[in-house]
């Protein structure tokens, strides 16, 4: 959470009623922006992702043992475990609702209806509330009932058909891209709804899905089909419509280059003695048509140079280039640290731990950073129950600290 009064969403209360990744990611973004986020979890078990490991932190068989997966989407939150079928816990939840600005949920359509908590019902009773509802395939339509998991969504939205070494080797992207993008899209929708509420005084339901996330990422591959009637397929580490743009072997590995204009092609071809005026390569469309021949020429020019030598020379020439880093190298990179893309928090079960940090920062006109968030570790299950109950004036179930009967 932020320091008191800091952050664009300071003073906002978000109830994170979601599980796994898409909804928690959206709520974490709001926490990074200064909102107070209370995560509502299942008693005794908590968010499913607490058990998605190894690796885990905490002592073996200890109550606070938790998967590192959970840590990725739940910083800057409080936790309370509530059983909404229990009258006392339901009273606590209903006492929280009038205080809330945003509620995030990621249940399959119909699940909340059976609890009397459908988004439409919540909004009818709390007209200023913004409800973010994230589903797998949308809240209506013939596939609305299907559960949402990232790898399924990557396949169903065509992303896997565009990823891999070639058309016959579909590959999942190495991070849960549909979950993460659904969370980002949901957070964007919530911010727009909160802005509109300042004009109208009314909240609304914001809906998105993993299906919408995957389709929204098609970019030029989408219009390549819908407008150009050309079906994109996986093309490995080389761009399907720009050349040279991809990964090229060198003496001790490989480097990436991105030649996105004719001026850049001229710099590369002049700098490395490539046949820049050859009719096969004199414009991008021709280079794409002769991509394999061009790649062989480039790799022949790179073969006696190391990655470090090439990156220095490409930088001198002004040709965009980069290495392929492993994650340990990324988190040790001084540029990542300079952008505050890692944060250190003191976790009660593991001590100081490093987490990937927020992607957005805010500055004043004089260049000074306006908001410095004081990040808190992802919460233990039900750790904030006494605080939340005191604020709600209720007792809830007679439970122990882990949500199990004490």
Which residues are known catalytic residues?
Answer: 179
Identify the three-state secondary structure at position 287.
helix
CA distances from 134 to 75, 105, 155, 397 (A): 20, 6, 18, 29
Angle between the N-to-C axes of helices 291-302 and 262-272, in degrees from 0 to 180, rounded to the nearest 10:
40
Residues 6+ apart with CB under 8 A from 376: 1, 75, 76, 77, 345
Q: Which of 16, 52, 41, 32 is nearest to 150 (CA)?
A: 52
Instruction: Let me know the angle formed at the C-alpha of 278 by 276 and 282, rounded to the nearest 5 degrees.
Output: 65
Q: Is the backbone peptide bond immediately before 122 cis, with ω within 30 degrees of 0? A: no
What backbone phi and psi angles, to 5 degrees, belong to 81?
-100, 120
Instruction: Please state, in angstroms and rounded to a whole number, the distance separating the CA atoms of residues 268 and 262.
Output: 10
Instruction: Please state, in angstroms and rounded to a whole number, the distance separating the CA atoms of residues 285 and 296.
Output: 18
CA neighbours closer than 13 Å in the CB half-sphere of residue 139? 17
Rg of the chain over CA atoms, in angstroms?
25
Contact 30, 101 (CB under 8 A): no
Q: Looking up tokens 């006494």, which residue turns up?
A: 386
Instruction: Let me know the angle formed at the C-alpha of 342 by 336 and 343, rounded to the nearest 5 degrees.
Output: 150
Contact 402, 80 (CB under 8 A): no
Instruction: Please state, in angstroms and rounded to a whole number, the distance separating the CA atoms of residues 333 and 328.
Output: 9
What backbone phi and psi angles, to 5 degrees, belong to 117?
-125, 30
Instruction: Let me know the angle formed at the C-alpha of 180 by 175 and 182, rounded to the nearest 5 degrees.
Output: 140
In DSSP terms, 205 is beta-bridged to 131
Quick one: tokens of 376? 């808190």
The count of other CB atoms within 10 Å of the CB of residue 369 is: 10
């Amino acid at each position: 959470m932020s320091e008191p009064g800091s952050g664009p969403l300071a003073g906002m209360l978000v109830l994170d009623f979601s599980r796994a990744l898409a909804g928690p990611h959206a709520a974490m973004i709001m926490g990074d922006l200064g909102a107070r986020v209370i995560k509502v979890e299942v008693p005794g078990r908590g968010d499913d992702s607490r058990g998605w490991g190894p690796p885990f932190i905490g002592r073996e068989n200890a109550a606070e043992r938790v998967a590192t997966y959970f840590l990725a989407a739940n910083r800057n939150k409080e936790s309370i475990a509530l059983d909404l079928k229990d009258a006392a816990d339901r009273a606590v939840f209903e006492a929280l609702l009038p205080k809330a600005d945003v509620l995030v949920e990621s249940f399959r359509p119909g699940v909340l209806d059976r609890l009397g908590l459908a988004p439409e019902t919540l909004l009818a009773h709390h007209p200023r509330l913004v409800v973010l509802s994230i589903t797998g395939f949308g809240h209506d339509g013939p596939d609305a009932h299907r559960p949402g998991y990232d790898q399924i969504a990557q396949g169903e939205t065509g992303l896997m058909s565009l990823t891999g070494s070639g058309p016959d080797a579909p590959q999942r992207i190495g991070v849960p891209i549909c979950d993460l993008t659904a969370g980002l899209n949901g957070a964007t929708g919530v911010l727009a709804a909160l802005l509109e509420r300042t004009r109208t005084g009314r909240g609304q339901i914001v809906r998105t899905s993993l299906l919408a996330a995957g389709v929204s990422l098609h970019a030029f591959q989408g219009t390549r089909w819908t407008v150009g009637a050309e079906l994109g397929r996986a093309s490995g580490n080389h761009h399907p419509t720009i050349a040279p743009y991809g990964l090229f072997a060198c003496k001790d590995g490989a480097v990436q280059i991105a030649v996105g204009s004719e001026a850049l092609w001229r710099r590369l071809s002049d700098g490395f003695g490539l046949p820049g005026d050859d009719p096969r390569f004199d414009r991008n469309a021709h280079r794409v048509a002769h991509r394999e021949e061009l790649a062989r020429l480039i790799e022949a020019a790179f073969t006696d140079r190391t990655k470090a030598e090439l990156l220095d020379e490409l930088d001198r020439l002004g040709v965009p280039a980069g290495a392929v880093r492993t994650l340990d190298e990324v988190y040790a990179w001084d540029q990542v640290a300079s952008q505050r893309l890692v944060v250190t928090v003191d976790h009660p079960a593991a001590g100081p731990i490093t987490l990937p940090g927020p992607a957005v920062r805010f500055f004043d006109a004089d260049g000074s950073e306006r908001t410095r968030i004081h990040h808190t570790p992802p919460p233990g299950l039900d750790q904030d129950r006494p605080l939340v109950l005191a604020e709600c004036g209720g007792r809830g179930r007679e439970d122990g600290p882990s949500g199990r009967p004490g």
